[in-house]
Structures are given as structure tokens and as C-alpha cells.
Amino acid sequence: MPWITDADLRRMRRDLLFDGPERGRKLSRFWTLLILASLIATAGVLADSTATVIGAMIVAPLMTPILGTVLSVVTRDGPNLARSLLLVATGAAAVIAVGWTCGHLAPLPVVAATNAQVAGRVYPSLVDLVAALATGAVGAFALARDDVSDTLPGVAIAISLVPPLVVVGLTLESGAGDQALGALLLFGTNVGAILFSGLIVMALFRVGRLAGAPLGLSARQQRTAAVLVVAFVIAVALPLGASTSRSISDSLRRSKVTAVAEDWAKPRNWEIVDVDTAEDGIVVRAVGPLPAPDPKALRSALDAKGLRSADVRLELLPLDRIDLPGS
């Protein structure tokens, strides 16, 4: 991995840190873009529009102080580390507040059951962490190498920061606290991944060797910050692992229930149209002509296949078929 130059370090400080004579201008740009991106993302979620949400991802500037945190740790810049962390925290709170406020304008609760944009952000898994780690590495690499900086819009799309926070606000306003926690976990996963990947990339580029005299951050404090980042990634990985395990278990159980239900329905010319997981168990939906198959026979078949503990709700939709032959 080639070392970076003094010019590269100056460029990164200019792009990522909120200090110097341009501080006021940088802050006004950050807050203006963040509020506008929050409104765009909220509109996209409420309208269930993926294109609009992607637009908000490109506009959102929240990745700047997160990578600024990485750069401040590597260069042992205490004041800018505090500044960047404060911007991440207050920026996240502001986006949640925008989502919560706009949620009052929605005629119906904005929850996973009624909105695909919400559903895609409240059940994170280990796959999200892996994707965020890779995307964070690309983002840090693009900042260190100005010849690949044109990949940054793709990074903004790939790693979602503002949309999950908007979903936190919307689901909180709708009274779905568990879904709000899921979206907050996704945001935390992405932030932790950017910090972790960024520290590794900056270390590989040997950014610290060009930093000069440390500004308020000792070598011990620098190591502590790096350890905290690793601990944070591990902390978010634990619930993600549990969620992934539950998802795999539910998928396997649905597959088994589907196979048993199809064998139960076929002799009566019924068709299984859907098998889904609900809060109270597994829902099996079937359609077909009268008379309907015996539900008790399905229960017995499930028990015989080792699914005695599976709570199943059967929804039957009889079809009255009438042939109308032509002359």
C-alpha cells in the first residue's frame, strides 16, 4: 500500500474536519444538507419510493464527520475528534427529530407491515455488517486516494446513514419502539463499520506518520479510542448474529411447514399460496374448492414431521368454481 503525501493529508483535513477559517461555512453547509437530506429521505419513506431515498443518501453529509473522527484518531487530534463526534451525535438526533415530526403528517402508522422502506431497515443482520465494513473501507480508500474519489457517491448509496435514522423517528411516532431500535441498530452498525474500516485503511496508508505533533490526544488515548471502536463493532455484531440466527431458523421452519402443508392440500386439489412468519407463529394460506381439507390432519402431519412446537394459523379461502362452456 503506497504512503500518502503531505498534500493528501491536507486535502483530507480540508474535506473532513470542521476547523480553520472556513469552519462556519463548513458547518452551515453540513446542517443545511443534513436537514434537506432528512426531509428527502422522510418523503421517500412515506411515499415508499426507493429512488427518492437514494437521492437522500447522495445528498446526506453525515459520513463526513464519521470519517473525520477516524482521521482525528489517526492524527491524534483531540479537538477535532471531539468536534466530529459531537456532529455525528447531534446530526443523528436532528435526523430522528425530523422523521418523528414528519410522522405526524402521515395518515397511517409508518411501520414495517405497511411500508417496504421501513421493513428493509428494521431487521438488520450480519450481512449488513459485512457490507458496511467493505463499503467503509472503500470510502476511506477513496478519500486517501483522490484518483478514485469518483466512487464516493456509490459509497453514499451503499452505506445507509440518514434513512435508518428517519425510520427511527417515524416508527417512534407510530409507537413501534422495537422497530425503532432495529433501525437504530442498523445505523450503529454502519457507523461502527465505517470507523473500524477507516482506521485500518488509514493505518495501511500510514497517515499518522505525516500528522506532526499530536493535538491533545496521547498515544494511550489513541489506542483506547481504537479499542473502543473494536468493542463497539463487537457489541453491534452480537444482536446482529442473534437476529441472523433467528432468521435462518424461521426460514428453515417455514420451509418444513410449506412442504407438509403442500402434501396435506394436494389430495383435495387445494393450493398453498403463502407461508409467512407472524408474531404468533406461522401463517399458512390456502385456496381451493369445497370441501376444505381437514385442519386436524394438517396438525397431525406437522407433529409427525417434528414440528410439534410450531404454532400454525391456517387461513382457508374456498373457491366456488363454475364451468360455463361455450356453444
- Taking residues 205-229, report their average pLDDT: 84
pLDDT cut 90: percent of the chain above it:
68
How far is it, in rounded angstroms, from Cα 126 to Cα 282? 24
- For the stretch 238-260, pLDDT in tens is 999 999 998 898 899 999 999 99
Is the per-residue pLDDT at 4 higher than 80?
no
Reported confidence tier of residue 279, pLDDT bands at 50, 70, 90: confident
Asked if residue 1 has pLDDT above 60, the reply is no
**What are the extents of the domains in the chain?**
6-217, 250-319
Section 294-298 average pLDDT: 93
Confidence category of residue 297, pLDDT binned at 50, 70, 90: very high
Peptide bond into 291 cis (omega under 30): yes
**Residue 192: per-residue pLDDT:** 95
Q: What is the mean pLDDT of the chain?
A: 90
Percentage of the residues of the chain whose pLDDT score is greater than 70 = 96
pLDDT at 151: 66
Cβ pair 282, 312 in contact under 8 A: yes
Query: What pLDDT score was predicted for residue 319?
Result: 81
Q: Give residue 62's pLDDT.
A: 93
pLDDT digits (tens, 9 = 90+) for 81-119: 999 999 999 999 999 999 999 999 998 899 998 999 999
Contact yes or no for 88/69 (Cβ under 8 A): yes
pLDDT of amino acid 150? 64
Convert the pLDDT of each residue in 124-183 to its tens digit.
999 999 999 998 898 888 888 877 666 666 677 778 899 999 999 999 999 999 999 999
What pLDDT score does 215 carry? 77
| pLDDT at 213 > cutoff 70 | no
Residues 6+ apart with CB under 8 A from 281: 310, 311, 312, 313
> What pLDDT, on the 0 to 100 scale, is given for residue 324?
85
CB atoms within 10 A of CB 259: 14
